[in-house]
């Protein structure tokens, strides 16, 4: 009998009180996809390639991102442009392999590749997940992601 | 009963796609009516050969792989690998980075226990607690996201330090979270601790004796619920855990209910550690440590490092040849494996519905078992 | 055990070491595996001490010492890793990085750069030099300051650390003058003299030894990162020197070839043909499927169809007319397994001796045991050249034929003070360092050698007992007569004779002009006479150098119709039988075909239409065949007229071995999988043999002991007897008076090197090399078109004026399929003579 009083008359109302009191609170849920969560500036989403102010590509196809990648997701082929500069003729990321660890971003000596805030890129074919250089350049956000706080200990000559 | 008629045992397949199996564990249960005679766990559905993957990666590249080892507490996985390599190569981690590591690991422990709290209740039929605990977990994940950019696979704790400093808005947000967390946990307790249904489902179910726990190598909260006061943070201190004051909660019955109580208490203790760490956080020098480079080669040797994870002892064994950039052998140990091992003993003689309660209370997570 | 008094004991980092006097501290440290970093040091160059990175601390020395230029001294105590040394190294690196651009991401050297590695190792990550780096600006608009200083070399002076390795190697090792350091201080630059290019045959080595990315190759430029490649041990497949190569590949593509140092052969230097020759297998127009001739065209077919047809036809010929009606030719650039299988197929399956590899020779010997093969079987070591006091080069333009032997000769002469005598019908590059370069009238070498023999006899310089007897066998038999015929002064002949007798060790090297001459036997006899008289057989070595990568192997593996008794015994031993018919040499095969005695030919890897030194005859011979099977890597003039064409794999696509001119068998590994449906020659041959129900092998392991037996050196000593030598002047048509030499171009070998882009950049079309004097007489400039006409053919070629040729000779190159110069040749003529007419309007 005492147990009945303790459980049904005390414990259960206690629990119901806890839940009922939230009826009068603002819900914490978001109506996705109408509403979206604000992203932290450091969020690691879909990649993009950065450009210089004059519109030329920053990427020189040095291959450090590909060698830093623990998932072997990056494939690139360098080539020489008419100015004699090295650039990436092919730059592909297999988004199905990518584990979004951000090593490519950290390895890049030219500050060319970044992980942006895009996270809605589902698709229904595997081929669509081979993310090409053109797409990566086009995906560049209008507002720049603040550059990493890498203190450039090294001087550039150019 | 006539001569010709007799009952016989039969087998029930539980899982691999049963929602209560927390991933894809399969049990072959041999039943005698409603009562379980034998249980045989079938594992390997989530096997990704993480150990071999690590053996083909440079040391630095292993960290994001470790994230996938036990994804509820990725920070701890990062830490255990980093700790092993640091031990092997004699790398000193700056004090500031150590504090950040502890803050992240303890927040991660709270988040992990919140998942456990929510899913346990869900498995036993209560949906509301799940929503509550995931609401608070979201706050923790927000903090992780603003620090390292991801909500689940952090790749934050690196060999030699942490990857990035915390952003300025982290500390206010964390303090706000810590200020309310105790009330939130009170809420959780109000919903379940004295709930008659919950108590009936859990009390006296799946009693794990301390002898059996030790025999099966069970560790972490499940071990402490059986009355053994053993916590690596206290008994084999790593990082800077010896600088903090916290209790190690112990219960004595070893049943599902006690395991619940332990975890609830642990959440409060972890919050206590985070509070102390935030206070002690050295403000003078911001040094997140020098991370190892791609061509890093530790000296020849072998090392085993272990930490107290939310699911028991997590350890990594690394063997290095000294002349390659990749580890020769990596072996991972996760607490869930031993807890799954003891499951057949615990479910013997119980009803099938109790399997769910026992499994939930042991907090088994399959990627850690299958690796 | 060497004399201990000559050894010096010293302590390096606490370890006792004993080294010979004159060793440098660096070498002493390396001998006990203590690593000291270097930039300007190279094992084959003299120390320069210009980079200062190899600092070590020597007790009692006032300052840090550069270990590469400091000789060891007794009881020296050296520290290579003390605090002071590390600080010194760090400072040197900081100075080097003062002006070194940090463009490692774009630099092709990134990943294998000594400077990068050391900077990484010593942790120089900050610089105290805040001023702007000095930049050697080439073009203000371009981002990089790259300058092409050679066909295949790009220089970026900003990256140069001025170790001068390239300049030193170019001058000291290769003897070229086309690279130097200009200006001084930090604006010093490595450059060519105005208007020149680094286009020597060895230019690729300069890139290989550059410790930073200052010199880079165009073939490797911006292609792949070094850490993404895998290396494969290989051997060069062009000339017979057998340089060891490392191929750098990823997946199905080879990206570059570098030297794999072998001190017995190449000493770490390779020529550009070997370096860029890997591009031939990478050619885009490789044959990928078998082709069968149907009507006028060749249509792709499957292997089953092609092999079925071949077996059926061969079987029919064998049954109806005998296996001797099938002739076989295989290229000596193919590997040992293929050569052996080819010989086995003809001898065992077709029961015929008609196998040959000598496509480019005139008038092949029709019997075994000729003097020439006796000479070629003598042992010869490239590394022994530098032990010689006197080197005699006969009939060989070494630079073009054997670039690495040439480097050894150069080393012996410039570094070991050997004297060099070059006896050639033309001026050669090697002759430039000779004590006396004797340019004799073309085709008169045996007269000249007779003169030399007579000189030895007359001056009583010989110990040979039958000398007087020998003199009577010689014609011309007076030195004056020999001098008149060859055009070399008596005094020069006499002084050479004296020089030969005075020295202790002689290397006699004879080359392609001798081998391809009709007078091969006479010349060999003359050489034997000279060797007997001067005792060269006892005090030195005689090398009649074979031509292609596996020519020596082909000789040893019996891919010849006429074999010596010893070889026949060996063959009977391994196969238990030997066909008892007389084989046909290639020369005879073509004649038999014209006479319609030969029905079919099986050619592997050889472009006979261009290689055979008589264009008209070979065309007739091959067209008269009933059935021609050709296996080759690309379409050639020969495959075009074949009934069945089979795709052949190149040497980078399978494991096998080559036998170099020293008779050393060197194994190589496959770098890529066979291209398309191509197959290695030995597999093609085996598949055809399977059609005869007599497979030659189950696995290639069965062949290896057979090859090993055949390649075993002969134990028995060759005994030489003197021979009668008679010089007969060749009759000539007065209308065609200018002798024509046909050889390989400097940057080419055979017919496929055109397919290598890099080698084509050096030279992509055929030309006629004439002397400045002749050019003046004909009134032509570089690039003028000249009609070259012989009795049998004519061809138009552009002119190139060169100092390395004499007034009375012109030279054409056989490597260009667009200009088949073999149509000018006649198989019975020793010297092909032509007349030149300037084509109007050029």
* B8 Cα to chain A: minimum distance (Å): 39
Q: Considering the domain boundaries, does residue B344 fall inside one?
A: yes
**CA C504 → CA C390, C419, C507, C533, C536, distances in Å?**
8, 12, 10, 14, 9
Look at the block and give the residue holding tokens 């008596």: C490
Q: Which of B34-38, C157-161, C471-475 has the lowest mean pLDDT?
A: C471-475
- Residue C187 CB-density burial (10 A; 0-12 exposed, 13-18 middle, 19+ buried): exposed
Q: For chain A, what is the domain count?
A: 1
CB of A43 within 8 Å of a chain B CB? The answer is yes
Nearest CA in chain A to B194: A11
Q: For an interface test with C, which of A67, A78, A153 has the most C Cβ atoms less than 10 Å from its Cβ?
A: A78
pLDDT for residue A156: 30
* A154 Cα to chain C: minimum distance (Å): 7
Phi, then psi, of C15 in degrees rounded to 5:
-100, 135
Task: Using the predicted structure, report yes or no on whether residue C138 has a pLDDT greater than 80.
Answer: no
Region(s) of chain C under CATH 3.40.228.10:
386-544
Facing A153 at nearest CB: one of C103, C110, C126: C126
- The CATH number for A121's domain is 3.30.70.3270
**CA C360 → CA C36, C548, C606, C672, distances in Å?**
51, 11, 10, 30
The terminus-to-terminus CA distance of chain C in angstroms comes to 69
Closest to C91 (Cα-Cα) out of C117, C124, C59: C124
Q: Considering the domain boundaries, does residue B20 fall inside one?
A: no
Q: Considering the domain boundaries, does residue B310 fall inside one?
A: yes
The span from the CA of C505 to the CA of C536, in Å, is: 8
% of chain C surpassing 70 pLDDT = 98
Q: For residue B297, what are the domain limits?
A: 47-368
Q: Is C7-98 in CATH node 3.10.20.740?
A: yes
With bands split at pLDDT 50, 70 and 90, how would you rate the model's confidence at A5? Answer: confident
Nearest CA in chain A to C107: A62
C-beta atoms of C228 and A67 within 8 A: yes
CB of A6 within 8 Å of a chain B CB? The answer is yes
Burial A134-154 (b: 16+ CB within 10 A, else e): ebbeebeeeeebeeeeeeeee
CB of A42 within 8 Å of a chain B CB? The answer is yes
List CB contacts of C825: < 8 A, sequence separation 6 or more: C362, C613, C614, C615, C742, C790, C792, C832
Element at C543 (helix H, strand E): strand C540-544
Nearest CA in chain B to A69: B61
With bands split at pLDDT 50, 70 and 90, how would you rate the model's confidence at C809? Answer: confident
Return the partners of chain A (3 or more C-beta pairs < 8 Å): B, C
pLDDT for residue A58: 84
Q: For chain B, what is the domain count?
A: 1
Task: Look up residue C437 and give its two tokens.
Answer: 């370069």
Residues of A whose CB is below 8 A from B294 = 67-68
The span from the CA of C806 to the CA of C785, in Å, is: 20
C-beta atoms of A15 and B142 within 8 A: no
Task: Give yes or no for a cis peptide into B16 (omega within 30° of 0).
Answer: yes
Return the partners of chain C (3 or more C-beta pairs < 8 Å): A
Residues of C whose CB is below 8 A from A83 = 141-143
pLDDT for residue A146: 55
Task: Using the predicted structure, report yes or no on whether residue B205 has a pLDDT greater than 50.
Answer: yes
Asked if A49 contacts A137 with a C-beta cutoff of 8 angstroms, the reply is: yes
Task: Give yes or no for a cis peptide into C476 (omega within 30° of 0).
Answer: yes
More confident residue, B284 or C745: C745
The span from the CA of C335 to the CA of C586, in Å, is: 20
**CA C542 → CA C283, C374, C510, C528, C537, distances in Å?**
39, 11, 8, 10, 7
With bands split at pLDDT 50, 70 and 90, how would you rate the model's confidence at A150? Answer: very low
Element at C574 (helix H, strand E): helix C565-575
Q: Are strands A113-115 and A130-131 parallel, antiparallel or unpaired?
A: unpaired
C-beta atoms of B167 and A42 within 8 A: yes
What is chain C's mean pLDDT, rounded? 88
Facing C142 at nearest CB: one of A60, A63, A84: A84
Tell which phi-psi region holds residue C195, choosing left (phi > 0), alpha (psi between -120 and 50) or beta.
left
* A95 Cα to chain B: minimum distance (Å): 16
pLDDT for residue A158: 27
Q: What is the sign, positive or negative, of the torsion defined by CA atoms of C238, C240, C241, C243? A: positive
The span from the CA of C305 to the CA of C448, in Å, is: 57
Architecture of the domain spanning C730-838: Beta Barrel (2.40)
What is chain B's mean pLDDT, rounded? 86
CB of A19 within 8 Å of a chain B CB? The answer is yes
The span from the CA of C480 to the CA of C455, in Å, is: 10
Nearest CA in chain C to A82: C142
With bands split at pLDDT 50, 70 and 90, how would you rate the model's confidence at B2? Answer: low
Span C25-73, pLDDT tens digits? 999 999 999 989 999 999 989 888 888 899 999 988 888 999 998 999 8
% of chain C surpassing 90 pLDDT = 25
- The CATH number for B303's domain is 1.10.645.10
Region(s) of chain C under CATH 3.40.50.740:
291-357+559-711
Domain C291-357+559-711: give its CATH code. 3.40.50.740
C-beta atoms of A14 and B190 within 8 A: yes
List CB contacts of C434: < 8 A, sequence separation 6 or more: C393, C413, C420, C421, C422
CB atoms within 10 A of CB C334: 32
Q: Which residues lie across from B12 on neighbouring strands?
A: B29
Facing B195 at nearest CB: one of A11, A68, A101: A11
Nearest CA in chain A to C223: A78
The span from the CA of C654 to the CA of A123, in Å, is: 43
Q: Considering the domain boundaries, does residue A25 fall inside one?
A: no
List CB contacts of C86: < 8 A, sequence separation 6 or more: C122
Asked if B163 contacts B155 with a C-beta cutoff of 8 angstroms, the reply is: yes
**CA C33 → CA C29, C30, C80, C798, distances in Å?**
6, 5, 12, 56
Strand order across the beta sheet in which A130-131 lies? A74-80, A86-94, A130-131
pLDDT for residue C469: 83
Task: Look up residue C798 and give its two tokens.
Answer: 């552009």
Region(s) of chain C under CATH 2.40.40.20:
730-838
Span B286-338, pLDDT tens digits? 777 777 777 788 888 899 999 998 888 999 999 988 888 888 999 998 888 88
Asked if C69 contacts C49 with a C-beta cutoff of 8 angstroms, the reply is: yes
Q: Considering the domain boundaries, does residue B348 fall inside one?
A: yes
Residues of A whose CB is below 8 A from C126 = 153
Facing A67 at nearest CB: one of C127, C132, C227: C227
The span from the CA of C438 to the CA of C540, in Å, is: 21
- Which residue intervals of C200-333 are DSSP H helices? 203-209, 272-276, 303-321
The pLDDT of C741-747, averaged and rounded, is 88
Q: Considering the domain boundaries, does residue B250 fall inside one?
A: yes
- Top CATH class, C386-544: alpha beta
Q: For residue A102, what are the domain limits?
A: 47-150
Closest to A11 (Cα-Cα) out of B190, B267, C447: B190
Q: What residues of B are in the A interface, CB distance below 8 Å? A: 57, 60-65, 67-68, 128, 135, 138, 142, 145-150, 153, 155, 163-164, 167, 187, 190-192, 194-196, 199, 294
Span C84-118, pLDDT tens digits? 999 999 889 888 888 888 888 888 888 899 898 88
Facing C105 at nearest CB: one of A62, A66, A80: A62
Span B159-194, pLDDT tens digits? 888 888 888 888 899 999 999 888 888 888 888 887
Residues of C whose CB is below 8 A from A154 = 102, 125, 127
Q: Considering the domain boundaries, does residue B330 fall inside one?
A: yes
Asked if B137 contacts B111 with a C-beta cutoff of 8 angstroms, the reply is: yes
CB atoms within 10 A of CB C837: 12
Task: Using the predicted structure, report yes or no on whether residue A84 has a pLDDT greater than 80.
Answer: no
Task: Using the predicted structure, report yes or no on whether residue C277 has a pLDDT greater than 60.
Answer: yes
Asked if C78 contacts C13 with a C-beta cutoff of 8 angstroms, the reply is: yes
Facing A42 at nearest CB: one of B61, B148, B190: B148
């Amino acid at each position: 009998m005492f147990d009945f009083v303790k459980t049904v008359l005390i414990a259960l109302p206690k629990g119901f009180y806890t839940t009922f009191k939230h009826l009068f609170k603002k819900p914490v849920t978001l109506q996705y996809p109408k509403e979206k969560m604000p992203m932290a500036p450091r969020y690691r989403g879909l990649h993009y390639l950065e450009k210089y102010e004059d519109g030329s590509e920053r990427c020189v196809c040095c291959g450090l991102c590909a060698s830093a990648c623990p998932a072997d997701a990056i494939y690139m082929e360098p080539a020489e442009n008419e100015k004699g500069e090295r650039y990436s003729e092919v730059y592909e990321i297999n988004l199905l392999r990518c584990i979004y660890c951000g090593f490519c971003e950290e390895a890049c000596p030219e500050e060319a590749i970044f992980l942006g805030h895009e996270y809605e890129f589902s698709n229904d074919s595997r081929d669509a997940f081979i993310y090409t250089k053109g797409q990566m350049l086009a995906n560049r956000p209008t507002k720049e992601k603040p550059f990493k706080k890498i203190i450039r200990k090294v001087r550039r000559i150019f | 009963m006539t001569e010709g008629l007799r009952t016989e045992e039969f087998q029930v397949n539980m899982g691999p796609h049963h929602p209560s199996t927390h991933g894809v564990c399969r049990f072959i249960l041999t039943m005698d009516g409603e009562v379980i005679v034998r249980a045989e766990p079938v594992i390997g559905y989530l096997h990704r050969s993480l150990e071999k993957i690590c053996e083909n990666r440079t040391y630095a590249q292993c960290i994001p792989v470790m994230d996938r080892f036990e994804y509820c507490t990725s920070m701890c996985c990062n830490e255990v690998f980093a700790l092993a390599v640091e031990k092997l190569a004699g790398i000193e981690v700056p004090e500031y980075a150590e504090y950040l590591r502890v803050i992240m690991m303890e927040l991660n422990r709270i988040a992990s226990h919140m998942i456990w709290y929510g899913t346990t209740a869900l498995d036993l039929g209560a949906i509301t607690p799940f929503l509550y605990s995931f609401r608070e977990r979201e706050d923790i994940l927000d903090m992780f996201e603003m620090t390292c950019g991801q909500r689940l696979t952090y790749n934050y704790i690196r060999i030699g330090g942490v990857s990035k400093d915390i952003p300025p808005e982290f500390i206010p947000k964390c303090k706000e979270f810590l200020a309310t967390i105790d009330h939130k946990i009170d809420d959780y307790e109000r919903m379940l601790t004295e709930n008659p249904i919950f108590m009936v489902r859990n009390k006296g179910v799946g009693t794990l004796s301390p002898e059996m726990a030790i025999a099966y190598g069970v560790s972490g909260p499940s071990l402490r619920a059986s009355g053994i006061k053993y916590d690596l943070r206290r008994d084999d201190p790593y990082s800077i855990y010896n600088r903090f004051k916290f209790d190690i909660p112990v219960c004595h019955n070893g049943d599902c209910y006690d395991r619940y109580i332990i975890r609830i208490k642990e959440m409060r203790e972890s919050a206590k550690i985070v509070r102390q760490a935030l206070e002690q956080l050295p403000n003078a020098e911001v040094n997140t440590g020098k991370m190892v480079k791609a061509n890093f080669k530790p000296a020849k040797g072998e090392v085993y490092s272990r930490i107290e994870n939310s699911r028991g002892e997590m350890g990594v064994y690394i063997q290095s040849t000294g002349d390659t950039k990749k580890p020769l052998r990596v072996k991972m140990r996760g607490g869930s494996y031993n807890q799954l091992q003891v499951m057949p003993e615990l479910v013997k003689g119980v009803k099938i519905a109790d399997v769910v309660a026992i499994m939930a209370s042991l907090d088994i997570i399959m990627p850690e078992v299958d690796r | 055990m060497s004399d201990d008094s000559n050894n010096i004991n010293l302590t390096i980092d606490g370890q006792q070491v004993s080294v010979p006097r004159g060793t440098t501290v660096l070498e002493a440290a390396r001998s006990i595996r203590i690593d000291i970093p270097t930039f300007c040091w190279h094992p084959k160059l003299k120390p320069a001490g210009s980079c200062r990175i190899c600092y070590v601390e020597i007790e009692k020395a006032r300052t840090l010492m550069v270990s590469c230029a400091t000789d060891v001294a007794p009881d020296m105590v050296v520290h290579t890793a003390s605090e002071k040394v590390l600080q010194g190294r760090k400072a040197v690196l900081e100075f080097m990085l003062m002006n070194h651009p940090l463009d490692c991401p774009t630099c092709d050297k990134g990943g294998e750069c000594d400077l990068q590695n050391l900077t990484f190792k010593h942790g120089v990550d900050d610089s105290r030099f805040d001023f702007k780096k000095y930049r050697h600006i080439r073009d203000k608009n371009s981002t990089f300051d790259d300058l092409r200083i050679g066909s295949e070399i790009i220089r970026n002076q900003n990256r140069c650390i001025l170790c001068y390795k390239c300049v030193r190697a170019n001058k000291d090792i290769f003897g070229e003058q086309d690279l130097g350091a200009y200006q001084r201080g930090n604006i010093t630059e490595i450059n060519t003299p105005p208007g020149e290019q680094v286009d020597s045959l060895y230019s690729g080595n300069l890139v290989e030894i550059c410790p930073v990315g200052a010199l880079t190759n165009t073939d490797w430029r911006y292609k792949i990162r070094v850490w993404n490649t895998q290396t494969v041990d290989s051997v060069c497949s062009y000339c017979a020197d057998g340089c060891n190569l490392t191929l750098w590949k990823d997946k199905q593509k080879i990206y570059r070839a570098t030297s794999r140092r072998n001190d017995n052969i190449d000493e770490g230097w390779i020529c550009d043909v070997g370096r860029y020759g890997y591009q031939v297998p990478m050619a885009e127009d490789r044959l990928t499927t078998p082709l069968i001739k149907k009507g006028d065209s060749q249509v792709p077919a499957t292997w089953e169809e092609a092999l079925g047809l071949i077996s059926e036809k061969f079987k029919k010929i064998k049954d109806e007319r005998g296996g001797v009606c099938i002739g076989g030719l295989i290229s000596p650039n193919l590997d040992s397994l293929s050569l052996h299988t080819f010989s086995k197929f003809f001898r065992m399956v077709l029961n015929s001796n008609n196998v040959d590899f000598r496509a480019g020779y005139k008038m092949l010997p029709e019997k075994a045991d000729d003097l020439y093969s006796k000479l070629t079987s003598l042992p010869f070591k490239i590394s022994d050249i530098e032990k010689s006091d006197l080197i005699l080069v006969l009939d060989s333009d070494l630079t073009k034929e054997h670039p690495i032997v040439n480097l050894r000769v150069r080393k012996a002469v410039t570094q070991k003070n050997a004297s060099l005598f070059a006896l050639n019908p033309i001026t050669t590059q090697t002759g430039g360092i000779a004590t006396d370069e004797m340019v004799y009238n073309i085709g008169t070498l045996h007269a000249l050698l007779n003169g030399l023999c007579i000189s030895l006899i007359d001056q009583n310089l010989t110990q040979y007992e039958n000398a007087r007897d020998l003199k009577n066998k010689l014609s011309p038999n007076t030195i004056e007569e020999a001098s008149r015929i060859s055009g070399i002064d008596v005094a020069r002949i006499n002084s050479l004779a004296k020089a030969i007798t005075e020295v202790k060790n002689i290397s006699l090297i004879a080359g392609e002009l001798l081998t391809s001459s009709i007078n091969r036997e006479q010349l060999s006899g003359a050489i034997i006479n000279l060797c007997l008289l001067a005792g060269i057989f006892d005090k030195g070595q005689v090398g009649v150098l074979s031509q292609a990568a596996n020519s020596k192997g082909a000789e040893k593996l019996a891919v010849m119709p006429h074999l010596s008794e010893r070889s026949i015994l060996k063959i009977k031993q391994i196969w238990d039988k030997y066909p008892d018919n007389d084989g046909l040499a290639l020369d005879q095969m073509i004649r038999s075909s014209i006479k319609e005695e030969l029905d079919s030919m099986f050619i592997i890897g050889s472009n006979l239409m261009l290689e055979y030194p008589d264009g008209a005859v070979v065309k007739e011979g091959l067209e008269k065949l009933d059935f021609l099977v050709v296996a080759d890597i690309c379409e050639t003039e020969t495959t075009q007229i074949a009934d069945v064409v089979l795709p052949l794999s190149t040497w980078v696509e399978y494991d096998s071995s080559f036998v170099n001119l020293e008779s050393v068998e060197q194994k190589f590994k496959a770098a890529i999988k066979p291209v398309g449906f191509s197959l290695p020659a030995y597999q093609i041959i085996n598949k055809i043999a399977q059609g005869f129900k007599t497979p030659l092998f189950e696995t290639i392991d069965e062949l290896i002991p057979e090859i090993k037996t055949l390649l075993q050196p002969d134990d028995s000593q060759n005994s030489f007897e003197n021979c009668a030598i008679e010089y007969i002047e060749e009759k000539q048509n007065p209308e065609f008076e200018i002798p024509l030499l046909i050889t390989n171009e400097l940057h080419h070998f055979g017919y496929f090197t055109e397919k290598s882009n890099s080698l084509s950049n050096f030279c992509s079309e055929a030309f006629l090399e004439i002397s400045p004097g002749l050019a003046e007489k004909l009134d032509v400039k570089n690039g003028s078109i000249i009609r070259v006409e012989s009795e049998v053919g004519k061809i138009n070629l552009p002119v190139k004026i060169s100092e390395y040729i004499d007034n009375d000779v012109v030279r054409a190159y056989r490597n260009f399929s667009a200009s088949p110069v073999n149509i000018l040749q006649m198989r019975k003529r020793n010297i092909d003579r032509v007349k030149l007419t300037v084509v109007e309007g050029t």
